[in-house]
Amino acid sequence: MEVYLDNSATTRVFPEVAELMTKIMCVDYGNPSSLHRKGMEAEQYLTYAKQTFAKLMKVDEKEIYFTSGGTESDNMAIMGCAMANNRRGKHLITTQVEHPAVLNTMRHMESIGYRVTYLPVNSYGQVSLEELQRQMRQDTILVSIMHTNNEVGALQPVEEAGALIKRMNPNTLFHVDAVQGFGKAKIYPKRMNIDLMSASGHKIHAPKGIGLLYVGDKVKIHPIVHGGGQQRNLRSGTDNVPGAAGMAKAAELLFAHYEEDVKRLYECKRYFMQEIRKLEGVQINGLIPGKSDGEGTAPHIVSVSFKGVRSEVLLHALEEDNIYVSAGSACAARKPQPSQTLKAMGMEGTLLESTIRFSFSVYTTREEIDYTLRALYDKIPMLRKYTRR
């Protein structure tokens, strides 16, 4: 049996998505910018994609921009807005637990003369609204807060943050990195005072290389990619028609059974947490105190620290049974350095190196979870026996 529990790193593409994209690549392969029929056919796929997201997010189709992925969306939102609004101020706010796509863009902004405030989080990974309120200033041009933390699954109070930001300073823009949250939660930018929102295709069963950025129609933003003027001159480059249509198709399929899927994911998560607690020396990260069933956290991410077991070794031990998980997060796993998120949550040295992330998808079955639990019951005691002395 192969059990893929690394869906926060990437997901399997839905067959319907692959099918649609194959058709677009092999038959309807025109360039939407071409004047002929072949171009128009391609353009219709793009329109379909924009309309799909507009409907799902309850926004206007003119506010949807396709990018090469979550990283570009985050870069575009932060750099584009900072540049377009720098006469109003040079202060940006974000959190200490953002994805590197936001964190490193913010560090770049610091290097070119902006000031950035990194909000701390509490022991379960949530940012404090009081702290946000304290840090807001007249010259704060953008606040960027992620929707769902990719390492522990903590949900940020984006709705409350949006209201707070607009109350404090109506000119301050609010960007939400929803790469992990999109498809797992209903996010309506207009109701939540969100001005910009990033999402990524390959986290929702579409391929890598496609993402989107919602940009509210009143938002002042400059392009960071220049060229032929596609996408209302905000994001040049020949439109990725198969990517955009594929991502739209995936979102459509995902939202078709949204309620039951999310319910099932929470059930999976609850069951997994309950069973994994039967092991000794296990700590589940990011749970809100008093809500040990995972209420108020993402439905698909469980972060577990196994005392006395190195996460990399456990990862490879599970791999021997064809179970695929992540040590920390995939983006952090290639560089053996402790996770910034877990550190910001106040985790201590040895546990930092003993943390595994399990992330589920609509494909995850109860049987797979049982198989994984059996492997863990089997391997954890063995691995604890052989540790560095």
Partner 1 sequence: MFTSFLIKYAEIGVKGKNRYLFEDALVHQIKYALKKCEGDFLVHKSQGRIYVEAAGEFDYEDTVAQLEKVFGISGICPVVSVEDEGFEKLCETVVAYIADVYPDRNKTFKVHSRRARKNYPKESMEVNADLGEVILRAYPEMSVDVHDPDILLNIEIREKIHIYSKVIPGPGGMPVGTGGKAMLLLSGGIDSPVAGYMIAKRGVKLDAVYFHAPPYTSDRAKQKVVDLARIVSRYTGPIYLHVISFTDIQLYIYEKCPHEELTIIMRRYMMRIAEHIAKETGCLGLITGESIGQVASQTMNSLIATNEVCELPVYRPLIGFDKQEIVEVANKIGTFETSILPYEDCCTTFVAKHPVTKPNVKFIRRHEHNLDEKIDELVRIALETDELIIVEET
For residues 211 and 203, give the distance between their C-alpha atoms in angstroms, rounded to a whole number: 10
In whole angstroms, what separates CA 76 from the centre of its chain? 16
Locate 77 and state its tokens.
Answer: 């939102």
Cβ of residue 203: shortest distance to partner 1, in angstroms? 23
Distant-in-sequence, close-in-space partners of 223: CB < 8 Å, separation ≥ 6: 76, 80, 233, 234, 235, 236
Closest CB to partner 1 among 37 and 389? 389
Give the active site residues. 331
Read off φ and ψ for residue 260, nearest 5 degrees. -70, -35
Closest CB to partner 1 among 111 and 337? 337
Closest CB to partner 1 among 155 and 318? 318
Cβ of residue 384: shortest distance to partner 1, in angstroms? 13
Cβ of residue 387: shortest distance to partner 1, in angstroms? 8
Binding residues (CB under 8 A) for partner 1: these are 312-320, 335-336, 386, 388-389
Write the DSSP assignment of 76-87 as a string of letters.
HHHHHHHHHTTT
Conformation bin of residue 118: beta by default, left when phi > 0, alpha when psi is -120 to 50: beta
Q: Which of 271, 281, 283 is nearest to 308 (CA)?
A: 281
Cβ of residue 340: shortest distance to partner 1, in angstroms? 18
Closest CB to partner 1 among 260 and 319? 319
Cβ of residue 312: shortest distance to partner 1, in angstroms? 7
Closest CB to partner 1 among 87 and 385? 385
Read off φ and ψ for residue 19, nearest 5 degrees. -65, -50
The CA-atom distances, in angstroms, between 382 and each of 53, 139, 188, 329 are: 48, 56, 47, 24
Q: Which of 164, 200, 212 is nearest to 67 (CA)?
A: 212
